């Protein structure tokens, strides 16, 4: 991508990730407004601090229902519905396992198989009781913990997009560390979003995804992991076994209108693997995927909403 003098970039570190905002005008106060909004959202949804709306629910597990705001209730309702789909690899009650593994945080370790079994019994999404009338959330068992880590960034990216739209911004890009949402087009008639080379330095790309006004979300096992005795343990857990999901995939990227869909689908498709995902995506034309596999393939489900430019000859491209 050639640098364009019309683009102004603003950055911050929030939600444990580098955040990047690109605008077509120099507007410090707009950028501060965006970062303030993200901070506010983060303080609502985080489970990495003692207090937040979600932590209030977790602290009251097995004891009391907790009334939350409308947007928090809606996000939890959505997360529960996806988690309860048959064979879903998305589970928003995975918190106890995430906290035990501590993947990507200091103090990580491999839990004993017995511990995993105990913790798995605290991850039944049906045990989250939602009451629409009181807008309350109740975790039925003590020790249960909601974790919206797989969905919150996508949700927040859409909140930022809506805020920018309200401010009459026509062209912008927000990158929340792997979750990109765009308004309008970039400098060359489309925004160029890099597809990272797995386990390489962050600026090494194997391709570029061009979109206008779409979201591009990537979930990769190289984002957060630790290695022990020749094994790699990454941060996307299999809700059935409690261990990191293990299949042919290194990353899944979703191109969609809403970033929340991208965030949900990366996790769902990760669990399905390539073949099943490609079959599944035939029925949902508004969701498109780019898979990168261990054996050096880049697989594109379709290319209706984006264009792909490969940058690394060592990867084989397959298009469906
Ligand atoms: P993402 O970066 O969107 O792939 O989300 C990864 C985060 O989601 C992890 O760091 C955990 O907090 C959480 N998580 C891990 N495994 C799952 C799962 N199977 N379902 C839902 N959330 C998960
Ligand atoms: Mg996700």
**Are the C-beta atoms of residues 79 and 45 closer than 8 Å to each other?**
no
Q: How far is the CA of 280 from the centre of ligand 1 (A)?
A: 21
Q: What is the pTM of this model?
A: 0.95
- CB distance 262 to ligand 1 below 6 Å: no
- CB distance 97 to ligand 1 below 6 Å: no
pLDDT at 3: 52
pLDDT at 104: 87
- CB distance 101 to ligand 1 below 6 Å: no
Structure token digits, residue 72: 């928090």
Q: How many CA atoms lie within 13 A of 8 on its CB side?
A: 9
The number of the ligand nearest the C-alpha atom of 219 reads 1
Atom of ligand 1 nearest to the CA of 239: 19
- CB distance 94 to ligand 1 below 6 Å: yes
pLDDT at 35: 98
- Residue 48 region, left (φ>0) first, then alpha (ψ -120 to 50), else beta? alpha
Q: How far is the CA of 150 from the centre of ligand 1 (A)?
A: 4
pLDDT at 2: 44
pLDDT at 1: 39
pLDDT tens for each residue of 185-210 = 988 899 999 999 999 998 999 999 99
- Take atom 4 of ligand 1 and give the residue whose Cα is closest: 219
Among 78, 92, 149, which residue has the most ligand 1 atoms within 8 Å of its CB, making it the best to mutate? 149
Q: How far is the CA of 264 from the centre of ligand 1 (A)?
A: 10
pLDDT at 73: 98
Atom of ligand 1 nearest to the CA of 219: 4
Structure token digits, residue 68: 């939350």
Can you tell me the distance from the alpha carbon of 28 to that of 111, in angstroms, rounded to the nearest whole number? 46
**Which residues hold their Cβ within 5 A of ligand 2, which is an ion?**
150, 263, 266-267
- CB distance 147 to ligand 1 below 6 Å: yes
Among 79, 84, 94, which residue has the most ligand 1 atoms within 8 Å of its CB, making it the best to mutate? 94
pLDDT at 188: 85
pLDDT at 187: 83
Instruction: For Cα atoms 142, 106, 229, give the angle at the middle one, nearest 5 degrees.
Output: 105
Residue 295, exposed/middle/buried by CB under 10 A (0-12, 13-18, 19+)? Answer: exposed
pLDDT at 6: 83
Mean pLDDT in order along the chain per 10 residues (320 residues): 73 94 97 98 95 97 98 98 97 97 92 97 98 98 97 97 98 96 93 96 95 97 92 95 96 98 97 96 96 97 96 95
């Amino acid at each position: 991508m050639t640098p364009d003098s019309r683009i102004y970039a603003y950055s911050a570190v929030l939600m444990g990730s580098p955040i990047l905002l690109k605008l077509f005008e120099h507007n410090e106060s707009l950028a501060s407004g965006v970062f303030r909004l993200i901070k506010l959202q983060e303080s609502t949804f985080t489970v990495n601090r003692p207090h937040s709306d979600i932590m209030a629910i977790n602290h009251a597990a097995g004891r009391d229902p907790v009334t939350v705001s409308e947007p928090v209730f809606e996000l939890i309702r959505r997360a529960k519905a996806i988690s309860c789909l048959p064979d879903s690899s998305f589970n928003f009650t995975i918190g106890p396992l995430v906290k035990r593994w501590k993947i990507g945080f200091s103090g990580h370790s491999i839990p004993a198989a017995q511990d995993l079994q105990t913790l798995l019994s605290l991850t039944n999404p049906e045990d989250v009781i939602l009451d629409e009338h009181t807008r309350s959330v109740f975790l039925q068992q003590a020790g249960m913990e909601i974790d919206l880590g797989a969905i919150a960034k996508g949700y927040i990216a859409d909140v930022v997009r809506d805020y920018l739209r309200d401010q009459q911004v026509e062209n912008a890009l927000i990158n929340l560390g792997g979750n990109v949402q765009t308004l309008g087009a970039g400098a060359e008639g489309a925004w160029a979003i890099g597809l990272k080379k797995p386990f390489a330095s962050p600026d090494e790309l194997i391709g570029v995804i061009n979109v206008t006004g779409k979201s591009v979300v990537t979930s990769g096992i190289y984002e957060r992991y630790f290695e022990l005795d020749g094994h790699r343990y990454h941060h996307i857990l299999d809700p059935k076994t409690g261990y990191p999901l293990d299949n042919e995939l290194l990353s899944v990227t979703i191109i969609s209108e809403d970033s929340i869909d991208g965030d949900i689908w990366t996790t769902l498709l990760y669990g399905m693997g390539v073949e099943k995902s490609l079959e599944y995506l035939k029925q949902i034309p508004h969701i498109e995927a780019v898979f990168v596999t261990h054996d050096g393939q880049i697989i594109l489900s379709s290319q209706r909403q984006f264009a792909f430019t490969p940058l690394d000859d060592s990867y084989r491209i397959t298009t469906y």
